[in-house]
Chains A and B, each alone.
Chain A
Amino acid sequence: MNLIATHRLLWEETLPGGHHWSGRLRRGTALRLTDVQGGANLSALFYNAEQPLERYNMPDTLKSQHTAFLTAGYVCQSDMGRVLCAITADTVGWHDTWCGVGDAALVRARYGEQRYQEQRNAMFRNGRDGMLIELAKWGLGVRDLVPNINFFSKVVPDEAGALRYVPAHSAAGGTVDLRFEMDTLVVLSAAPHPLDTRAVYAPSDVVLTAYRADAVAMDDPCRTQCAQNGRAFTNTERYLGDVA
């Protein structure tokens, strides 16, 4: 993990475990996600900020890069064949793309109920409600909630496809860096992963650090990861009216 030079820093804030967040990241900016206590889960969805009908597409992202998980070098593709953001650095190695978010019933069944009435802001939160709350702030809703990325979480299949959650996959201080290639609406929830096997509700905090990114070179590692990524960058540049 490289230190971010002070003159490039835009802002930094902490997303407490379980909480949700949304905001806009412009093309040319980057967002570093840091797992504070270890074992974090950060559910994420990305939308074209000017036309949110265009959004992160799990199948298109996976099949064009022939991968079932995400790490450095891969890009998060929209359903329109463009790159919303590229993963430029990663100390964690595997981020889950399949399992979606847990809902209130799941959190209640696994951890019990802790309501605002008694617990105030220590109440238990779930990923589905967190994502929907943030989507609603942008005029979006349940129809826009599609399969998301779960940063910091790892779930592996056996040969027959049976899934196993890998506990303690992400260590304290683990980071992943996203460089935005389009103006992007980012929607996040730091609630527990739906297959998390830990008995106690104790989701890790995640620090969000926004910074100015370098211009994307033609030999950028994400762009040259495979010919498919090169074409996705070309599609993005054509959409934006840049040279391609």
Chain B
Amino acid sequence: MSQLLESHLTPGSAVLDQTCLAGDPWMGTVRAGQTLRILDLEGNQAVDTLFYNADDVSERYSAADTVARNGQLYLSLGSRLYSNAGRVMLDIVADTCGRHDTLGGACSSESNTVRYALDKRPMHSCRDSFMRAICEHREAGVLGLTKRDIVPNINFFMNVPVTPDGHLSFAAGISGAGKYVELKAAMDVVVLISNCPQLNNPCNGYNPTPIRLLVWD
């Protein structure tokens, strides 16, 4: 695991402090220079996250640019999150978990039918949370976000190890209650989160739980 670093920021001085319940989506804007903390309240909770340039949402988090430009499959302290235009969107400036996933993407009704069984389609999924968010949030409508903009996301607190011979698995989580990751924004970003409702694999410890989101100036 990578180096861990605690933050000196305290919730009392945060300009935003919200809880996102298990299985819910969340959207918000983080301005350049602000710091976003994603806090795993009860442990082993995957947080499916996308970032968009608030001024032009066609610029967005790019898993491929982030992996290739960092030369690293996993995210941890010091990782830079790159956009599809090759620009830094955010930097991970504090982390008490140690590893976050770039390859696992979001669960969906459709992928659940493939991965588990055709009759798993009715189970709640991150894709459905993303669809709900872009339909319901006024901000998403103004920005013009649609399914076209839903691309492979980050899974904070999720552990998807890849072996040198190329085997990929969804392993038991390495996060725990109270662990967090902090990101400092290098541009104004719209944050789109699905607090993952997956019950078919250990990515949420088979028990999806709430997360807390804080922003500091």
Contacts and interface: CB of A to CB of B under 8 A. Distances in A.
Contacts of A100: 62-65, 67-68
B12 to A, nearest CB: 36
B64 A53 contact: no
A101 B71 contact: no
A241 interface: no
B113 A147 contact: no
Contacts of A148: 64
Interface of A (DSSP majority class)? loop
A142 B84 contact: yes
Nearest to A98: B67
A53 B102 CA distance: 22
B169 interface: yes
Contacts of B99: 161
A79 B104 CA distance: 13
Contact of A67 (B72, B108, B167): B167
Contacts, number: 130
A132 B103 CA distance: 23
B86 A143 contact: no
A158 B118 CA distance: 35
A68 B65 contact: no
Interface string B81-108: 0001010000000000001001111101
Contacts of A144: 148
Contact of A60 (B62, B63, B105, B117): B105
25 contacts: A60-B110, A63-B104, A63-B160, A63-B168, A68-B103, A69-B166, A77-B114, A81-B111, A98-B67, A98-B103, A99-B68, A100-B64, A106-B86, A141-B58, A143-B148, A143-B149, A147-B151, A156-B166, A158-B164, A161-B162, A194-B68, A228-B115, A231-B113, A231-B114, A235-B118
A-B pairs with lowest CB-CB distance, top 8: A59-B105, A100-B64, A81-B110, A161-B73, A161-B74, A99-B68, A147-B64, A69-B166
Interface of A: 53, 57-60, 62-64, 66-69, 77, 79-82, 94, 98-101, 103, 105-106, 141-148, 156-163, 194-195, 228, 231-232, 234-235
